[in-house]
Amino acid sequence: MAGPSFVPRAHDIYPDDVPMAAPNFFDVPADESPLQQLIRHWMNERHSPDILPGQEDVLGGLLDHIRRQSNTVHLLRSDPDSSEEEHFRIMLAQTEIERVKFVVRSYIRTRLYKIEKYARYIANTPEVQERLSQAELNHAQTFANLTEDHFNISVLQALPEHQRGLDDQTPFTPPMIPEPDKSRAVFVHALDDCPPVRLPDGTTLRIQKGQIVLTPYAVVEQLLGIGSVELV
């Protein structure tokens, strides 16, 4: 017969000498914790007109940590011997978990919005496909196929054959396959002293560490890729 299962107490996780502040489960020795990394990538994704490389490792690590902490909080809540102080710490822990869940959900939904908006562009652009996880790529290809089938059935099959293409490049009309508008202006915060970049008018811009500038996304795309700037 199996012995009684061990139910952790709040003081087993939060010792008495821990200050009564919201616990941060994601502190790591590195300069930036996984949560801080995901928040930075989340903000970059929200403000960038293009689809940025996915952060599967950071996201997976946070999801695993959320799952473990949620299980621990559930066990602590079910302990009838928990004191009022322990319940307060449990509440702080649950609040922190919900905060992280919000960031994770918003990051995933932002990428999903872009994937569906530019599904046919993604399906035709191998360079962009490399930035997506396999699940995201499968969704983009499926969504693109469904959209194309819908257009064919509802509209295109009734048109003359030479007008049924979805990739026609007609002057003075919007493209049939929408692409990210890299000429859109974005606010950029420099994390380091950046090498000079060329503006659309031919002049050169050098962004110093700590500066915030407004510039077309295409100008700072490479700086964002190497982590010298972040979008705000």
User: What CA–CA distance (Å, rounded) separates 26 from 19?
Assistant: 17
Q: Is 95 part of a structural domain of the chain?
A: yes
Last residue of a domain, one of 96, 117, 138: 117
Task: Look up the CATH number of the domain holding residue 230.
Answer: 3.40.5.60
| 166: in domain | no
pLDDT over 90 for what percent of the chain? 56
Listed residues 75, 96, 117: the one ending a domain: 117
* CA 28 to chain CA mean position, Å: 20
Residue 110, number of CB atoms within 10 A of its CB: 19
Which among 65, 87, 117 is the end of a domain?
117
**201 in a domain, yes or no?**
yes
Q: Which CATH number do you get for residue 38? A: 1.20.58.1030
The rounded distance, in Å, linking the Cα atoms of 131 and 143 is 17
**Any domain includes 167:** no
Is the same domain home to 21 and 113?
A: yes
The predicted structure's pLDDT at residue 168: 63
131 assigned to some structural domain? no
Check: CB of residue 118 under 8 Å from CB of residue 179.
yes
Q: Tell whether 153 is covered by a domain.
A: no
pLDDT tens for 177-220 read 889 999 999 999 999 999 999 999 999 999 999 999 999 999 99
How far apart are alpha carbons 149 and 120 in whole angstroms? 12
Q: Given this model, what pLDDT does residue 182 score?
A: 95
Shared domain check, 105 and 20: yes
Residue-range definition of the domain harbouring residue 106? 10-117
The count of domains in the chain is 2
155 within domain boundaries: no
100 and 15, same domain (yes or no): yes
In a domain, 172, yes or no: no
Q: What is the pTM of this model?
A: 0.78
Q: Are residues 113 and 14 in the same domain?
A: yes
* pLDDT averaged per 10 residues, the chain (length 232): 41 37 36 88 97 94 90 81 79 89 96 96 94 96 88 72 65 76 96 94 93 96 95 96
